């Protein structure tokens, strides 16, 4: 099963140094039954992209909580055994929790399939989005527009072997 773990660049550096994503439990995103139902699609690529996008939004939240982190969203795609990622059944119908799963154990970085990171040219929009997140959560439409601006930037794909150069 492919899951998407939201991080920041400092979090990615820690994972690289430790050789694993952790400590557990880890919040991640995956193609869950609720995500499938919400997006009404059988196209696995579309659903995987939706899960990746949800993880990118969670990475933005991590950036908002860490003002010292470089303003670039980071998502690590990892493959875990079926059943290792569990969705909270009490939040299955909660739109804000679509695709959300929890991993009970740390994941070796060797299980990573790819790393997705914002390009340098996204930093200004991502910084503005992280700063506007609180107001957007409280219903400010202008702030929501700013947050949505970060989503206009596609995350770049990097192979795991490229981590040392990325960091």
Quote the tokens at residue 123. 């930093």
pLDDT tens for 112-161 read 999 999 999 999 999 999 999 999 999 999 999 999 999 999 999 999 99
pLDDT tens series, the chain, 167 aa: 999 999 999 999 999 999 999 999 999 999 998 888 888 777 889 999 999 999 999 999 999 999 999 999 999 999 999 889 998 877 767 787 889 999 999 999 999 999 999 999 999 999 999 999 999 999 999 999 999 999 999 999 999 999 888 88
The whole-model pTM stands at: 0.93
């Amino acid at each position: 099963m492919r899951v998407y773990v939201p991080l920041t660049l400092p979090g990615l550096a820690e994972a690289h140094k430790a050789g694993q994503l952790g400590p557990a439990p880890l919040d991640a995103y995956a193609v869950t039954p609720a995500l499938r139902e919400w997006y009404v699609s059988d196209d696995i690529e579309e659903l995987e992209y939706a899960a990746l996008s949800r993880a990118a939004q969670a990475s933005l939240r991590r950036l908002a909580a860490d003002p010292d982190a470089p303003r670039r969203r980071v998502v690590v795609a990892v493959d875990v055994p079926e059943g290792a990622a569990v969705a909270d059944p009490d939040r299955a119908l909660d739109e804000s929790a679509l695709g959300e799963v929890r991993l009970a154990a740390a994941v070796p970085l060797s299980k990573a399939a790819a790393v997705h990171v914002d390009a340098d040219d996204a930093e200004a929009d991502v910084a503005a989005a992280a700063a506007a997140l609180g107001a957007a959560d409280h219903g400010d439409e202008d702030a929501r527009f700013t947050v949505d601006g970060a989503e206009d930037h596609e995350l770049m794909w990097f192979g795991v072997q490229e981590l040392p150069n990325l960091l």
